[in-house]
Amino acid sequence: MISPVVVTIVVPVYNGEQYIRDTLVSILDQSYEHVECIVVDDGSIDRTVEVCNEFSNRITVFSKANGGQSDALNFGWSKATGKYLSYLSADDLLDRNAIRILLDEAERFNGDLVIYPKYKLIDFKGAPIKNVSPLFTDKHSIVERFYCPVGPGAIFSRGLFDRSGGWRTDIRQIPDFEFWLRLINKANFVFHDEVLASFRVHANSTTHAVSDSVKADESINVAVSLKKSGAVEGFRYNRFLASAYIFSGCLHLRSGRVSVGTRRLLKAFALSFVTVISGYSIKRILSSCTSLMRYK
């Protein structure tokens, strides 16, 4: 008898009592029944664990000292039994058929893969804001434009975690994107053109928080380290590094550090003029300049 394919979803959480119940319900209500849900409580001091224990007969809850999202995810994935792994932030949601649809598509591929769907933005009450589709899905654009198309709902082959060591715990701004870039030559990246997850936008969303100087420069350090490791062989490094400088410059601008942001953009210009004047880069820079106005 063939054993069913298990998909393990890890939910890292720190002080997530407000939304985690809805997140867990969206996982446990999946139409595909062979889903393993692991919650890693990262040292919460609110009622997070108490809420999670309401589902103790259907999920596994681990509690550990606070070590950050990456450390919590790596811990959870190390305990997983699934052929495929996934993660969901403690305030995001999965559509009921998400895992069944993505797994059906994943099983048609040979070799390791990352498969990710469209998703929608929702507000703090769960009301829809808009659907989000990736601007680019090809590997060259992912690398050379420093563009991450992978959002909530993605699943990936277990072997990729076992061989790559998971998310880097020293990265705070883009640990997910660094992981995908590390896998770019090791896996198929497959986009599923259907909305299957929800990303919640609210006052405490870390994605939209102001970045300090160290976090804003992570993209540059990541680009250099991936070049040294050989992870981005086959791509135009000057464009990759220029895009990393643009990414950094935009974060500095959004955070009010005009002089630093300008220097990063000038460095990008010196590395690859073509990259800076592309429509995508110009829109990214203009958006950052618009955000800068809140500091005026």
Contacts of 273 (CB under 8 A, 6+ apart): none
Residue 167 pLDDT > 90: yes
What was the pLDDT predicted at 211?
84
* Sequence letter at residue 30: Q
Confidence at residue 203, expressed as pLDDT on a 0 to 100 scale: 67
Q: Please give the DSSP secondary-structure letter assigned to residue 211.
A: P
| Portion of the chain with pLDDT greater than 90, in percent | 92
Contact 14, 43 (CB under 8 A): yes
DSSP per-residue string spanning 228-277: HHTTTTTS-HHHHHHHHHHHHHHHHHHTT-HHHHHHHHHHHHHH-HHHHT
- Per-residue model confidence (pLDDT) at position 292: 59
CA distance 212 to 255: 7
| Pairwise pLDDT comparison (293 vs 112), residue with the higher score | 112
What single-letter amino acid sits at 55?
A: F
Inform me whether the pLDDT recorded for 224 exceeds 70. yes
pLDDT on residue 207: 53
Alpha helices in the chain (DSSP H): 20-28, 48-52, 69-78, 98-106, 139-144, 158-164, 175-182, 213-216, 218-229, 237-254, 258-271, 273-276, 279-292
Question: Residue 285: what pLDDT?
Answer: 95
The span from the CA of 148 to the CA of 96, in Å, is 25
Classify residue 40 as left (phi > 0), alpha (psi -120 to 50) or beta. beta
Q: What is the CATH number of domain 7-208?
A: 3.90.550.10
pLDDT at 125 > cutoff 70:
yes
Q: Mean pLDDT, to the nearest integer, of 217-234?
A: 97
Residue 206 has pLDDT above 90, yes or no: no
pLDDT for 53 equals: 95
Which residues is 93 bridged to in the sheet?
198
pLDDT grade for 1, boundaries at 50, 70 and 90:
low
Read off the pLDDT band of 294 (50, 70, 90). Answer: low
Q: If you average pLDDT over every residue of the chain, what do you get?
A: 94
Write down the pLDDT at residue 210: 77
pLDDT of residue 295: 46
Instruction: Reduce the DSSP state of residue 283 to 3 states and report it.
Output: helix
Measured CA to CA, the distance from residue 58 to residue 225 in angstroms comes to 40
Residue carrying the six token digits 């990008």 = 268
Domain ranges in the chain with CATH number 3.90.550.10 = 7-208
Burial 216-232 (b: 16+ CB within 10 A, else e): bbbbbebbeebeeeebb
The amino acid occupying position 29 is D
Each residue of 36-76: pLDDT tens digit?
999 999 999 999 999 999 999 999 999 999 999 999 999 99
The residue type at 108 = R
109/191 Cα distance (integer angstroms): 13
Position 153 confidence tier, pLDDT thresholds 50, 70, 90: very high
How far is CA 80 from each of CA 59, 76, 130, 167, 269, rounded to the nearest angstrom? 12, 7, 33, 15, 44
pTM: 0.94
Say yes or no to pLDDT of 163 above 80: yes
pLDDT higher than 50, residue 296:
no
Confidence grade of residue 143 (pLDDT, cut at 50, 70, 90) = very high
Contacts of 239 (CB under 8 A, 6+ apart): 144, 145, 271, 272, 274, 275
Confidence of residue 119 (pLDDT cuts 50, 70, 90): very high
| pLDDT class of 182 with cuts at 50, 70, 90 | very high
The pLDDT of 145-166, averaged and rounded, is: 97
- 124 touches 130 (CB < 8 A): no
Do residues 176 and 105 make contact, with C-beta atoms less than 8 angstroms apart?
A: no
Furthest-apart CA pair in the chain: how many Å?
A: 67
Mean pLDDT of 77-89: 98
Summarize pLDDT for 231-282 with one digit per residue, the tens. 999 999 999 999 999 999 999 999 999 999 999 999 999 999 999 999 999 9
